[in-house]
Amino acid sequence: MYHTMNLMVAHVLMTYGFKLITFTHILRADGKESKEFWFDSNSPECEFTAEQAARYLTTGVDELKAINPEHPLLWLRADNENRNSLIAIVKKSPRMVEIKNGTRSALIAENASEETKRQIAEML
């Protein structure tokens, strides 16, 4: 069996056909938590073991690119990175509030100062 705490690695392993055996969530004696995904070491769909695949997904990216720049693991890794980038954009972007005055409207950041909100409202 192979285990990982890396969510991206776990996601790719599942996508690539590695069987998820179990998930453990442990509260250790020192008060810290450990969350680990446990997989079968081999997949009928991947020529690498789970451990090798995890290394290629993390520290061995350049090595895998040299072997096969179009390997599916690289595409799955890129997919995860893009998803994480989009999630970061969503999380850090302020909500926009619509302000209306008759038929005219404007959008303003929810966290804008009261003075900025007043100025925008006056322009409408």
Contacts with 61 (C-beta within 8 Å, 6 or more apart), sequence order: 74, 77
55 and 15 within one domain: yes
Say which range, 17-26, 56-65, 67-76, 107-116, has the weakest mean pLDDT.
Answer: 107-116
With 0-12 / 13-18 / 19 or more C-beta atoms within 10 angstroms meaning exposed / middle / buried, residue 33 is exposed
Residues 117 and 94: their CA atoms lie apart, in Å, by 14
24 and 11 within one domain: yes
What domain range is 108 assigned to?
Answer: 95-124
100 and 87 within one domain: no
pLDDT digits (tens, 9 = 90+) for 95-117: 998 888 888 888 898 888 889 88
26 vs 102, which has greater pLDDT? 26
Q: Which helix (H) or strand (E) holds 17?
A: none
Output the pTM of the full model: 0.75
82 and 70 within one domain: yes
113 and 78 within one domain: no
Contacts with 78 (C-beta within 8 Å, 6 or more apart), sequence order: none
pLDDT digits (tens, 9 = 90+) for 69-80: 999 999 999 999
88 and 50 within one domain: yes
110 and 72 within one domain: no
Number of domains present in the structure of the chain: 2
101 and 88 within one domain: no
62 and 24 within one domain: yes
21 and 64 within one domain: yes
Within 68-113, residue ranges assigned H as helices are 72-92
110 and 54 within one domain: no
